[in-house]
Amino acid sequence: MRYEAPETLDAAVGLLAGESGQARVLAGGTDVLVQIHTDRADPDLIVDIKKITELRDIADEDGAWRFGAAVTGKEMMDNAAFNAAWPGVMDGVRLIGSVQVRGRATVGGNLCNASPAADSVPPMIAARAIATVIGPDGRREVPVEDIVTGPGKTSLGKGEFVVSFQLPKRPPNSGDAYLRFTPRTEMDIAVVGCAVNLTLDDAGTCTDARVALGAVAARALVVDDAAKALIGTKVDDAAMEALAAAASAACSPIDDKRGTIEYRTEVAGVLAQRAAAIALERAKS
């Protein structure tokens, strides 16, 4: 195994394109190293992208936000403006691993590891985040929900990796939230995760919503029916019930000791309601 830590994007692209064997991009490294330990990955080349400055930026671009794929959870947590703008995304970032893991872990890594239970992915999807991907054929933009195709699988081509994420500017009276459900209170893998991002008009009617679920299917899901349940309502009890029903209906989870199919399906609805309530609160404040 060879380790390289290029300082430019071009160099990284070149290294990846030139590798005939297996190559892995390392951002925080928290997942890749675990995969190597457990023989789930045996790369010939590791490209550490943390030294590429472009990937370490986090910037407010006229209300839209862009952050590099190698920005660590800690750097995001330390950015007060971003926390204020996207509290729901930060709900997810704060839950990646434990304190030390999230210090190094990155949203890019959390996404590209392609775990269905990744905590930062549903809120990024709910936020309508767009990933910029670079590879031998140049750059392209991909909605975050289209990056992961299944457990451990992504739509990234050979030599491609995520450079940055862009979060669109939101209208006023918007709020987002992410909740996950785990057996332990800390440091655990989500049994269900749910993110809600919504916008209200001045009268308090929901004009836009997006709901994403994690850990209930092979990859994080966008649940349009759940969003529809909220849009046009005051997010009242009836809307909440419709939201829960839609969230539950979208689930196709696995059955394991952390939760049966029935249970995950049930809890997805409960979590959707609770996340929506927090998002609503944030939109109003």
Q: Is 259 in the site for other proteins (CB under 8 A)?
A: yes
Cα 106 to Cα 164: distance, rounded to the nearest angstrom: 11
Which of 146, 266 has the CB closer to other proteins? Answer: 266
All residues at 6 or more sequence positions from 200 whose CB lies less than 8 Å from its CB, including other chains: 173, 174, 206, 207, 280, 283, 284
* Sites for other proteins among residues 101-120 (CB under 8 A): 101, 103-104
Q: Where are the alpha helices (DSSP H) in the chain?
A: 9-18, 30-37, 73-77, 80-85, 87-93, 99-104, 107-112, 121-126, 224-230, 237-250, 261-284
Three-state DSSP at 167 gives: strand
Which of 211, 244 has the CB closer to other proteins? Answer: 244
Which of 1, 59, 81, 238 is in the footprint of other proteins by CB under 8 A? 1
Q: Considering CB under 8 A, how many residues would be counted as binding other proteins?
A: 40
Q: Is 20 in the site for other proteins (CB under 8 A)?
A: no
Stretch that binds other proteins, among 12-20, 137-145, 160-168, 252-260 (CB under 8 A): 252-260
Q: Is 18 in the site for other proteins (CB under 8 A)?
A: no
Q: Would you say how long the chain is, in residues?
A: 285
Q: Is 38 in the site for other proteins (CB under 8 A)?
A: yes
Q: Is 186 in the site for other proteins (CB under 8 A)?
A: yes
Which of 184, 202 has the CB closer to other proteins? Answer: 184
CB 111 within 8 A of CB 118: yes
Residue among 76, 78, 77 at smallest CA distance from 66: 76
Q: How many helices (H) and strands (E) does the chain have?
A: 11, 14
Which positions lie near other proteins, rule CB under 8 A? 1-3, 5, 26, 29-30, 33-34, 36-38, 46, 48, 50, 74, 97-101, 103-104, 181, 183-189, 256-257, 259-260, 262-263, 266-267, 270
